[in-house]
Structures are given as structure tokens and as C-alpha cells.
Chain A
Amino acid sequence: MVSGARPSRADYYQVLASALPSQTLVVTALGNASYLWAAMHHTPENFYIEDAMGLALPLALGLAIAQPARRVVVVEGDGALLMHMGALVTVGALKPDNLIVLLIQNGVHAASGGQALTSPTLDLAQLARSAGIVRTGNVATSKDFASALNIAFDTNGLQVLVLSTEPDLEVVRPPVAFDPVLTKHRFMAAIKAPRYIPTMFGGGKLQADGGES
């Protein structure tokens, strides 16, 4: 599985950061998926997941449903996907046309130190096609990723790109605090999500005034 020819996660992230349209919402999985992205492209429109392995994809699916006018990119790992493969089926069933799924396939559990995956060479693009996702592809170079990403951002439609990657086991120190509640409030304020207005009589509702949740 390991061959020195594959790009690193940082190589792919550099391409993503360059191609990312403004206003795009980005959800990143645990470990370096979040830490490195924060180091390279921190914005309030990033939602960093710590721990909660396998839940970046379903969370991003929910976000894409709630924010249909915004493009949502999610970075999920191959080990995380195996943990909750059903989420790929749900994504394929709902087909949100504002969701781009980037699957980092490094063949190991990188976030926990590089332990072997149950199946390191599974054809994840084929799995996505089986789940009903038409636009899928395997990517093994930065150049191919740039081409695929530009097409994905230029067109509407659910897309899954599987990025063959060298494992990055050295933990990146993020430049921002990874306080989960701060992450949530910062994100919700950035997208002007409706916020709950408390009422001492109960029955409060969400109101779209652009504040925090």
C-alpha cells in the first residue's frame, strides 16, 4: 500500500486551499485532518471535529441539508468511513448536490498512530458508486486533484473523491484553540445560523437574526 509516490495530506490541502471558493463550509475529521487544515487554512467557516471518529461525513450531510445554498466540503478518513460506512449509503440516497466528499485513503488509522486498517486497499470510489453516487473518482496526484476539484466547484452535484495519500503520523499542532463549543459558536455566527431566543415561558423558537446558537 505504501509507495513514496503518493502525495501527502499537506499536498492535497494546498490544492484545496487554493481552489476553495469563498463561503464554502468545510468539515474536517479527527486528528491531522482537522489540525493540519486549521494550520493551513483556518477560517470561521471550518468545523473541526475532534474524536467522534466516523461522524464527520454524517455531520456534513446534515449541514448540507440545512444549508442548501452553501457548498459543503467534508474531509473524512478511510478508517473513519469504514467505521460508519452506512453514512455513505445515506449520502447516496439523499444526494445533496452541494456536498463534496474528500476521502483520505492512507491505509492506516493515522490519527491513533498508524495501526493497520481492516481493509487498506478497498475501492472506496466503487463503494460510493454502489451507494448511488455517480460522480466519484480515485485521485493519486496533486495535479489530478486540482483538475477534479475545479470541475467539482464549477458544477453542482454530489461528488466523492478518494485521495490516495501517504500516512502522516506526526501530530500537527493547530494554531487555534480547539475548544468544541467555541468552534460551534464561531461557525454558526459565521454562517448567520438562526439562534434560539430563550423565553421563560417555554416554547422558544429559532430566529434568524444572525447571532450565535
Chain B
Amino acid sequence: MIKHTQQHKESHRPSEILEALRRLEFGAAVAVPDGWLGEILVRIEQEPTMRLVRATHEEEALAIACGIRLGGVRTVLIVQNAGLLSMGAGMVCLAQRYQFPLLMLVSYRGTAEDPVFYHIPKGRATEPVIQGLGLAYVRADRNKAIGPQIEAAATYADESSSPIAVLLSREDIQW
């Protein structure tokens, strides 16, 4: 366990996320940024095998992602947890009702590890809202390599034909 943790102190987890998306042949990412997500979106934009779409609102981003997946391209949705709170109708009426497999990478703001006063209300509401939506989710484990966790969630999305959210901390996603 100690060896495992030490190994990952030296790793760059956002790079591992990007590498996992590349390895799993994600062809598109649809995103609304926040402070933690800004740089990884730039890196995705520079990827020759991925198309980044910058949306104006998370529910719109969700629908764009569903459309890209409908067209046969593996798609990841990248948003802050505020976006999970604001995309509820689209999540249940479109993504879940039509059973779109979607990997969602979510910056988890407002937890006890991110005690910014204006993020805290979102942090407090995030998991109860996810559970209320019936949305599958997992909180990334910082003591394990992040790449396999992304791969497992992506596999879950496709094998269950449903969206799944991966809640990420700062060291997971901020470049």
C-alpha cells in the first residue's frame, strides 16, 4: 500500500486521464470549464484524435455529447459539479431515457478538501442530487492509479448503456 501511494506521488494524474481517454479511443470531449479543468481541456484540444466542443451550459453539453455518441463516436463529458446540479432534466429525459453511454468527468468542488465558501453548497448537494437522479457515480480513489479508474468507468458506461459520473479532486484533474 505504501509502495502504491509513493508510486503515485510521482505520477501526473491529469496526464494519466488524458492517456486513458486516448487509449480507449474517445473521439470527442464536450465541456464547460472551471478553474481545475481549464488546462486539460487545452490539452484535449491539442490531441489530433480528439475533438473538443466547448458548450455554453452543461445541459446543452450533455445533449451535444448524446448527439456525438448517437453518431457513433465515443464521447466524454467534462464539467464541474455545478453542471451536474443544472443538467438534471436532460440527464433523466435524454441521456438516461435513451440509454446513452456517457463517461462524465466531474471536478468535485466544495468538499472538505476544497473549502471555498461559494463552492461548499454545491459540494454538499452533489452526491444527494446524483443519487436522486439515479445516476451511477464513483468518487476517484487518490490512493490508486487514476487511469484504470477512468477505464473502469468508461467500460461501465458502455456495458450498462448509461451515463456514469467520476467525481475528481484537484490532483486528479488540474494540470
Whether the pair B158, A204 counts as a contact (CB closer than 8 A) is: yes
Complex: chain B residue closest to A74, CB-CB: B67
Cβ of A39 under 8 Å from chain B: no
Whether the pair B56, A65 counts as a contact (CB closer than 8 A) is: no
Whether the pair B93, A183 counts as a contact (CB closer than 8 A) is: no
Contact with B along A63-100 (1 / 0, CB 8 A): 11111000000000000000010110110011000000
How many chain B residues touch the partner (CB < 8 A)? 44
Cβ of A205 under 8 Å from chain B: yes
User: Interface-forming stretch among A105-113, A132-140, A148-156, A193-201?
Assistant: A193-201
Whether the pair A59, B63 counts as a contact (CB closer than 8 A) is: yes
* Known A184-B98, A204-B155, A213-B161; contact A63-B90, beta-carbon cutoff 8 A: no
Complex: chain A residue closest to B56, CB-CB: A86
Interface residues of A (CB under 8 A from B): 27, 47, 49-52, 54-55, 58-67, 84, 86-87, 89-90, 93-94, 180-181, 183-184, 187-188, 191-196, 198, 202-206, 208, 213
Whether the pair B63, A62 counts as a contact (CB closer than 8 A) is: yes
For B75, what are the chain A residues with a Cβ–Cβ distance below 8 Å? 62
Complex: chain A residue closest to B96, CB-CB: A180
Cβ of B85 under 8 Å from chain A: no
For A194, what are the chain B residues with a Cβ–Cβ distance below 8 Å? 72-73
For B94, what are the chain A residues with a Cβ–Cβ distance below 8 Å? 49, 51-52, 55, 59
CA distance A204 to B152 in the complex (A): 10
Whether the pair A188, B70 counts as a contact (CB closer than 8 A) is: yes
Complex: chain B residue closest to A27, CB-CB: B67
